[in-house]
Amino acid sequence: MNTSVKRNSALIASALTLGTFALATQAQLLEEVIVTAQKRAESAQDVPIAISAMSEEMIADTGVDNITQVLPLLPGVTGATAGIATNAWAIRGISTNDWSTGSEPSVAIYVDEAYIGRNTLATTAFFDLAGLEAIKGPQGTLFGRNAAAGAISLTTNKPANENSLKVGLGAGSEGQQQYNVIANGALNDDFAVRLAYRGTRFEGFWEEVANNEDAYRDEDAIRLSARWDISDSVQSILTLNYGEQESNMNGGYNPLLSTVEPGVEFPDKVARSTLDREKNETQGVNLRITWQLAGGMVLTSITDARNFDYSYQQDVDGSNADATIDSILASLFGQPAITGGLTLEFANPSVEGSTFSQELRLAGGSDSVDWFLGVNYFDEEVDETQLFNVIDTALGLGTIFFDRNINAGSNKALGAFGDVRWAVSDALALTAGGRWTRDKKDWCTEGYADLGFISVSTDGQLCDSQEWSDFSPRLIAEYRLSDDLMVYASASQGYKAGGFNPAAADFNSDFIGDSVAGFDPESNRSYELGLKSEFMDGRMRFNIAAYNSDYEDLQIATATIGGI
């Protein structure tokens, strides 16, 4: 169930960076990271936003291979995962703990400036990257979709005018293997293609002794892109991508109910009654066209379409102590035992979704003014089945109780946004922006419940439709005290659309679901003071930001009985 609460947070975040061996005889300057969060290339130190960025070289030096691993390296950003696609990415302490298809993430993910509506679609994108940007605080005027907490933007490498081939191989002591292939070819100065592949294998970290299976995680991702400079003023980049992932390491393990001996067998050996499984397959196409217009204006079109097919299965109790599970469950019904041995399983046997987005953006400027205007359309279709099974392992009866939700939803959103920066003087600049958004969601659910752990039975399919609209402004004042020292103050508002709970609600307490349970949009007003500075001739960098975020109707998923 999703509940609405109000949360207010205030914090000071800072980052201190020193050039490597800055005091050695050969001083080393800090790398300048170029970002495009404001739709123009500029140094991260010149942007009056709390932003953490990593270049291609920085990402390569860390050795990480997914978003969750890299986020802890960025101040104010955290990441956690319970499997391949069940990720919780947080900015300034705010994330989404509901992975159902009825809600949206508080941290928006963008790949090549295209909004990725589900984390499921983003997990196979982290390879052959030109850079990563984490923009903290409400976002709506800079990107094609709203984000209440912030945004993470991944930029992939584009085809270059060169012929090259790079092959990388890696291996670890616990069965890890990694394969990387990057091939770039240029037909001429106007046409080039790039092929990137990444494969990872993780096997044998531990053994699941009850089912005689080794732990494994396999991932393959491929991206093919083509750049065509149609004329001196028009460029197009077409990108096709495909990814697949499979693992049996998505569930947890319960040492309190372990049948293997801690310190002797565990953690090298674990025991669970049912096999954990997680599979994810993604496909996508992105077309970016830019036109250089008269007067220095640039028109950009970004068309993006993606789909995914995902499934999940987990031994909920994380053990094979089935007699104990039977006793615990039987006590809820006031009897000593049900069959003598039970295990609990949660599953998403089928989650399918598709997204389409179209963005048009016009940018221009003069000596003292930079501006851009944009419109964005987003369309998402999702279908999901959720199961909670009680399985007998003592008598061979199989599934004896189960709860089931069958959900189908659609989400259509239209937004118009813009931003203008006026350099009042060499030291002072003012920025103002705004975004108008309209969201329309349709949701249908059908449930069957023996126990009511995740659902409530319904008399057929229940459907509902909701619409919301919002205007989110942004104001910034920045003042440069010197070439290496800038202070800024900002006020902004974020918004995340409302949605629907995956299970129906039984408001009249007759054990039959009678309503689709929706929840309101989430909003965030944020105020920030910041300083960005460099010292020691570019060998030391010190940035600090103090912010206050006031959330209204914060969306949080909580577990209840009976889908209420």
pTM of the model: 0.88
Peptide bond into 336 cis (omega under 30): no
Among candidates 202, 274, 288, which has minimal Cα distance to 245? 202
Could you tell me how many helices (H) and strands (E) the chain has, helices first?
4, 28
Q: What are phi and psi of 497, to 5 degrees?
A: -60, 155
Q: Residues 239, 112: contact at Cβ < 8 Å?
A: yes
Q: Is 232 left (phi over 0), alpha (psi -120 to 50) or beta?
A: alpha
CB 71 within 8 A of CB 81: no
pLDDT at 560 (0 to 100): 56
- Please state, in angstroms and rounded to a whole number, the distance separating the CA atoms of residues 212 and 207: 7
What single letter denotes the amino acid at residue 283? Answer: Q
Please give the pLDDT value at position 559. 58
Tokens of 352: 């399918």
Report the 10 Å Cβ neighbour count for 255: 13
Specify the pLDDT at position 22. Answer: 36
**How high does pLDDT run on average in the chain?**
86
DSSP 8-state class, residue 538: G
| Dihedral (Cα; 132, 135, 141, 142), 10-degree rounding | -20
What span, in angstroms and rounded, lies between the C-alpha atoms of 197 and 241? 10
d(CA 494, CA 22): 40
Beta strands in 146-208 (DSSP E): 150-156, 164-171, 176-188, 191-208
Residues 6 or more apart whose CB falls under 8 angstroms from that of 256 comprise none
d(CA 214, CA 276) in angstroms, rounded, equals 11
* Calpha distance 528→137 (Å, rounded): 9
pLDDT of residue 510: 81
| Tens-binned pLDDT, residue by residue, of the chain (564 aa) | 444 444 444 555 555 544 433 333 344 667 777 777 777 777 888 889 888 888 888 888 887 878 888 888 888 888 777 677 777 788 888 877 666 677 888 888 899 999 988 888 888 888 899 999 889 988 888 888 888 888 899 999 999 999 999 998 888 877 788 899 999 999 999 999 999 999 998 887 778 888 888 888 899 999 999 999 999 999 999 999 999 999 888 777 777 776 676 556 666 788 888 888 999 999 999 999 999 999 999 999 999 999 999 999 999 888 888 888 889 888 887 888 889 899 999 998 989 999 999 999 999 999 899 999 999 999 999 999 999 999 998 898 999 988 999 999 999 999 999 999 999 999 999 999 999 999 999 999 999 988 878 888 888 899 999 999 999 999 999 999 998 899 999 999 989 999 998 888 888 878 888 888 888 998 889 999 999 998 887 788 889 999 998 988 888 776 554 443
pLDDT for residue 385: 92
- Cβ(346)–Cβ(393) under 8 Å? no
pLDDT of residue 24: 36
Query: How far apart are alpha carbons 51 and 30 in whole angstroms?
Result: 17
Strands 342-365 and 369-392: antiparallel
Selection from 430, 542, 528, 429 nearest residue 485 by Cα: 542
β pairing state of 191-208 and 269-270: parallel
Predicted confidence at residue 357, as pLDDT, reads 96
Q: What is the tens place of the pLDDT at every residue in 459-497?
A: 889 999 999 999 999 999 999 999 889 999 999 998 999
DSSP structure string for 535-561: EGGGTEEEEEEEEEEEEEEEEEE---S
Which CA distances in Å does 550 have to 10, 203, 512, 522? 9, 45, 38, 11
CA–CA gap between residue 263 and residue 265 (Å, rounded) = 6
Q: For position 20, what pLDDT does the model report? A: 38
Q: Structure tokens of 516?
A: 């689709």
Q: Using alpha carbons, list the distances in angstroms from residue 138 to 479, 483, 548.
A: 22, 28, 12
Instruction: Please report, for residues 124, 236, 276, 370, 536, the alpha-carbon distance to residue 246 in angstroms, rounded to integers and kept in the order given.
Output: 12, 34, 11, 46, 49
Rounded distance between C-alpha atoms, residue 213 and residue 191, angstroms: 48
Structure tokens at 525: 């007003």
What is the predicted pLDDT for the residue at 372?
A: 93
Would you put residue 563 in left (φ > 0), alpha (ψ -120 to 50) or beta?
left
Identify the CA nearest to 506 among candidates 459, 442, 472.
459
Residues 76 and 92: their CA atoms lie apart, in Å, by 5
What pLDDT, on a 0 to 100 scale, did the predictor assign at position 81? 73
Q: Do residues 471 and 460 make contact, with C-beta atoms less than 8 angstroms apart? A: no
